[in-house]
Amino acid sequence: MISLKKIMGCKGISPLIATLLLIGFALVIGTATMNWGKIYVSKADSREPIEYKFDSAVLISYEKIDTPLKEMQIKYIIGQIPLEDYLIKEKEYLNQS
């Protein structure tokens, strides 16, 4: 019978086997990770989509209204003046500046 020492007697065999083992290990780990990812994604796709419903709300602070333009914007947002009036007044204010 041929002993292991005789086979491993060559100095280049041991690093070659180690390299092949590392490559094989990396391939096995990569394959397992990809299969797990495929299963995980397919489960995530099969779930019902979640619908989010938000009520629209605008919070307005009157503390820092220091220009007429900001005052007009607030009046437009809360519905005190129509869009046409707001746009006309905005142009007038911007032309003054």
pLDDT in tens, 67-93: 888 888 888 888 888 999 989 988 988
Return the amino acid letter for 12.
Answer: G
Q: Which tokens hold the place of 22?
A: 């590392």
Closest to 79 measured CA to CA, from 66, 95, 60:
60
Measured distance CA(36)–CA(24) in Å, rounded: 18
Measured distance CA(94)–CA(97) in Å, rounded: 5
Q: Phi/psi of residue 49, each to 5°?
A: -65, 145
0.85 cut: is pTM over it?
no
Residues 22, 14 contacting (CB under 8 angstroms)? no
**Is residue 1 predicted with pLDDT exceeding 60?**
no
